[in-house]
Amino acid sequence: METIFVVIIVVLVFLLFSSVKIVKQQTAFTVETLGKFSRVIMPGLNLVIPVVEISARKINLSTLSLDFSILAITSDKVNISIDTALIYKVVPEKIYQAAYSLDNPVSTIKALVENIIRAFVATQTHEEVIRSRDEMTQYLTVHLTEKIENFGYHIDSFQFRDIVLPKEITDAMSRVVASKRLQEAAQNEAEAEYIRSVKTAEAQKQTRLLQGEGLALERKAIIEGLSQSIQELKSATGVTSESVMSLVMLNQYIDMLRNVTNDKTGNTKTVFINPTADGMQAIMQQMSEMLQK
Q: Would you state the pLDDT for residue 91?
A: 92
Q: Contact 76/57 with Cβ under 8 angstroms?
A: no
**Composition of the chain by helix, strand, coil, percent to 5:** 60, 20, 20
How far from 194 is each of 63, 182, 285, CA to CA, in Å?
A: 61, 18, 51
Q: Would you state the pLDDT for residue 291?
A: 46
- The distance of Cα 163 from the centroid of its chain, to the nearest Å, equals 19
Q: For domain 64-165, is the CATH number 3.30.479.30? A: yes
Sign of CA pseudo-dihedral 181, 187, 191, 196: positive
Sign of CA pseudo-dihedral 164, 168, 169, 175: positive
pTM above 0.75, yes or no: no
**pLDDT tens per residue, range 138-158:** 888 888 888 888 899 998 888
Q: Would you state the pLDDT for residue 211?
A: 72
Tens digit of pLDDT at every position of the chain (293 positions): 667 766 677 666 677 777 888 889 999 999 999 888 899 999 998 888 887 888 888 999 999 988 888 888 888 888 888 888 889 999 999 999 999 988 888 888 899 888 888 888 888 888 888 888 888 888 888 888 888 888 999 988 888 888 887 777 666 666 666 677 667 767 777 777 878 787 787 777 777 777 767 766 766 666 666 667 666 666 666 656 666 666 666 666 666 666 656 655 556 555 555 555 566 666 666 655 554 55
The radius of gyration computed from the CA coordinates of the chain, to the nearest angstrom, equals 53
Q: Which helix (H) or strand (E) holds 78?
A: none
Tell me the C-alpha distance between 27 and 38, whole Å: 17
Q: Contact 131/121 with Cβ under 8 angstroms?
A: no
**pLDDT tens per residue, range 20-35:** 888 899 999 999 998 8
- What residue segments make up the domains of the chain, in order of their start? 7-60, 64-165, 217-292
